[in-house]
Amino acid sequence: MYITIAFFHAYIYTAERSLSMRTRLLVSGIALLAALQGCAFVTVPFVPGTRPLVENTVQGRGREKILLIDIAGVISGESRDSLGGLSQQPDHVARMKEVLKKAERDSSIKAVVVRINSPGGTVTASDIMYRELVEFKQRRSVPVVACLMDIAASGGYYIAMAADSVYAHPTTVTGSIGVIALKFNVKGLLDKVGVVDETITSAVLKDSMSPFRGMSAQERAIMQSILDELHKRFTDVVHSGRQLLDTQQVAALADGRVFTATQAHEAGLVDVIGYLDDAIHEAERRAGLRPGSRVVMYHRPNRYKNNIYSHSSVNLLTIGGDFSGILPFQFMYLWNP
């Protein structure tokens, strides 16, 4: 089954490359025909992903503002092509930095609500985004409220620990505190088809985690030690964000399981079960703002946003588990059932 999946991904990758080439050729052909016909070129926002962020009011009024930030999909530090390769969407880390940099220059931003709908992602990308939020909060002295949506698991929950208060939608699935590193062993299949791995290495552990052979006891111990250290980093972050829980309580919750909103609330992993507007009201309260304060989002030009349930980005990485932009092997803070 695993090999079928691998071949399927290889096929999809090849198809995407072919589509990308066809799209570029089509656009080039249209441009050439226009030039030959003496047509004037008009600037068209064909690649909005490359244009600076703009602000849009989605709710309320007044000078003082609450910024609503989206974190959605599998979290990665890898950028992603869109429009058949004509545009490149910034990765989650780069976009978070861009959003917070813009917000930091705006003194009228008085609070931040982070809407999280993610099963997690790579360890480093999750950690960087958490750190960026923490440092922004410290530099600007503004409250941050997290609102967990469908899924806010593993790396998604990790990032929520930067918030002063965590709200979970009544139907949220969260938790999955832990680390995973996927490895496949295809040696048996390769033996059946007569393929022999002849990888040359300079040292015995250089090809650790190779899919073409099983792991030795030494390799397994080494990899387990890495996962244990990354797991401790995760639990330390949870303990820092959920200070009502002691280290033993966090450790008991950090076995990789997921929780419903009710279970998470009872365990102390979230503060309130509510909705996005409740999280916005909490941000108003913490910032000392009047009810009905202005809520803004940042987005690329020509993307219409008219309410708080509009999303600020287009499918950076879908929740369905699109790993095409992720390297073959990664340590992941990810819920991947």
Residues with a catalytic annotation lie at 154, 206
Q: Identify the sign of the CA torsion 236, 173, 280, 57.
A: positive
Give one DSSP letter per residue of 298-328, joined into a string. EE-TT----STTS-SSS-SS-TTT--TTS-S
**Of residues 261, 69, 66, the one with CA closest to residue 153:** 261
Segment holding 109, helix H or strand E: strand 109-118
> Which pairing describes strands 109-118 and 61-72: parallel, antiparallel, or unpaired?
parallel
255 DSSP assignment: S
Rg (CA), the chain: 23
Distance CA 286, CA 113 (A): 11
